Structure 1
Amino acid sequence: MSQMVRTAKQLGAYIQDARARKGISQQQLAEVIGKQQKTISSIEQGSDGTKLETLLLVLAALDLNIEISARTKASQNIGDIF
């Protein structure tokens, strides 16, 4: 399944959904990646300050990948960008 994500909150919600689909708790995910449960909670809330390396560990633990693509310029409205 592919999902476009443009904000930290959207990414956090997607990660939370993926974790729930796997049937694991925040604590279990945190243990797998060697972090604290509050780190997972922070990521899922879309909080600022998450290290890229931590995010990549979370994605790997959930069997997710990041795909980067160019944004289309169909709209000039700044609200459509974010």
Structure 2
Amino acid sequence: MDLTARTAEQIGEALRRTRKTRGWTQGDISARTNLRVATISSLENGDAGTKLATVLAIMAALGLEFRLVERGGSLEIEDIF
């Protein structure tokens, strides 16, 4: 699956769509990440104040990876640091 997101709302929607595709509830993600269901709901609803660590924890639980893409190419996160 290849998803592109540029806003908090798009990130939240992509994570919700992935979660539902797997047949998981927000409670399932909560159990896998030790995050509150309210936190997961907030992220899925596009809360721009969500911590990056929270986003990454949910992505890891869903088996997703974070990738930065430049127009015309791809930049691996390892190349940044």
Q: For residue 5 of structure 1, give the secondary structure of its aligned residue in structure 2.
A: coil
Q: Which structure shows the bigger proportion of residues in strand conformation?
A: 2
Give the equivalent residue in structure 1 for 2:79.
none
Give the unaligned 5+ runs of structure 2. Answer: 73-81
User: Where do 4+ consecutive residues of structure 1 move more than 3 Å?
Assistant: none
Give the equivalent residue in structure 1 for 2:13.
13
**How do 1:15-34 and structure 2 match up within 5 A?**
15-34=15-34
**How do 1:34-49 and structure 2 match up within 5 A?**
34-49=34-49
% same residue? 36
- The TM-score with structure 2 as length reference comes to 0.82
Q: Could you tell me how far 1:37 is from its partner in structure 2?
A: 0.2
Give the unaligned 5+ runs of structure 1. Answer: 73-82
Note the aligned Cα RMSD (angstroms): 1.1
Deviation readout 1:8-53 (Å, 9 max, x if unpaired): 1011001000000111110110121001000110010011211111
Give the equivalent residue in structure 2 for 1:76.
none
Total equivalences in the alignment: 72
Q: Give the number of the structure with larger relative contact order, counting CA–CA contacts within 8 Å between residues 6 or more apart.
A: 1
Q: Could you tell me how far 1:71 is from its partner in structure 2?
A: 3.7
